[in-house]
Amino acid sequence: MKPELITIGSCTLDCIIQINDILRFELLDKNTIKKYTAVEYSRKMNVDNVRFVPGGSAANIASNCAMLGLRSAYLGILGKDFSAQICMDDMKKRGVDLSDITQTDEDSTAFSVILKTEWGKDRSILAYKGANNLLKPEDIKEELFDDIKAFVWTSLTNEEACKAIDKAIDLTKRKGGKVFAAPSMSILSHNRKWAKILISKSDVISLNKEEAKEITQKEDSFEILETLYDWGVKLISLTDGQNGSLLFDGENTVRSTIFEGPVEDTTGAGDAFMSGILISTLNDFSLKKTAKIAAAMSHLECKSLGVRVGLPTSLNELEDFTKNNEIKQIMSQLVKK
């Protein structure tokens, strides 16, 4: 059977490093305080713990949705290395169709170093796109989209890879599916032209506030929502860490808090949030229920170290969690200026 969901973008081996022997400082930049971690020059520092886990936004979303019962496929380019094998084994275990992965000797599989420190549960990431960015339009086969319900694109940055995503968007729309955008800062800051083209052709987008500010050049949350809606996006999600989220459908907004509980690792939280939005959209859930489902996915992702861990294995399990746990939600209409 052909996939109902296809994802294109990053598939990465994440190296999670716990390091306390590192410096931290803050700088004031245009009335904004920016926080930095720093490695002292020409010094060897001790690492407290190292873990290798499969990650990458597109691979995460495909895996999350496959566990929730959606026929999901990851389409992309990986290297011929140990990283690729770890990534593919994990996706296969979670039910993702890997038939349209190409492996190459041209480059290595994408790789990320995630630095976790004693200062909090957030993290800094050093990301290498590697073979992911070798995707070309000719790698996108029309017949793969025959049963498509949803297509998700995440950040690839070079010209040919962006053209490949563009082709996949056109095929999805031609076949009656919905297009979901989960771009990261890499495309928003390094290939703004293509980021705006691809976003404007998407039906749904999920961004954190920093990413949204970067692409819209707006500071106010409601101005960000209006801008993205004016570009053509029909459903917009704006997340802001512990401050919760905003969901906007062009008329109504729902502001939601986060679920209470311990946070072990925020890696993959945005991908889990998007996975919740995608599943909810395909099931025609209300705006409030969509926001709650997405918040639940993000919360469950953050409870364990690494990604794809602790997430529900069925939609019923996910809905049961939202019924038995509460968050605060405020529904309102966005009044345009």
Query: What residue ranges in the chain does DSSP mark as E strands?
Result: 5-8, 12-18, 23-29, 32-38, 49-55, 72-79, 101-104, 110-116, 123-128, 150-154, 178-182, 204-208, 235-239, 245-248, 252-256, 329-333
> What are the distances in angstroms from CA 202 to CA 178, 240, 276?
8, 21, 17
In a domain, 27, yes or no: no
Percent pLDDT > 70 in the chain is 98
Q: Which two tokens stand for residue 33?
A: 């305080």
Cα angle 91, 136, 163 (rounded to 5 degrees) comes to 105
Total tally of structural domains belonging to the chain: 1
Q: Is the pLDDT of residue 166 over 70?
A: yes
pLDDT (tens digit per residue) in 251-291? 999 999 999 988 887 888 999 999 999 999 999 999 999 99
In a domain, 32, yes or no: no
pLDDT (tens digit per residue) in 57-102? 999 999 999 999 999 999 999 999 999 999 999 999 999 999 999 9
In a domain, 62, yes or no: yes
Please give the distance of CA 269 from its chain centroid, rounded to a whole number: 8
pLDDT (tens digit per residue) in 139-161? 999 999 999 999 999 989 999 99
In a domain, 167, yes or no: yes
In a domain, 220, yes or no: yes
In a domain, 94, yes or no: yes
In a domain, 245, yes or no: yes
Choose among 183, 171, 211: nearest CA to 6: 171
Residue with tokens 């909090």: 120
CB 181 within 8 A of CB 200: no
In a domain, 51, yes or no: no
- H or E element, residue 168: helix 159-174
d(CA 212, CA 88): 31
Tally Cβ neighbours within 10 Å of residue 126: 11
Q: Which domain holds residue 166?
A: 5-12+57-333
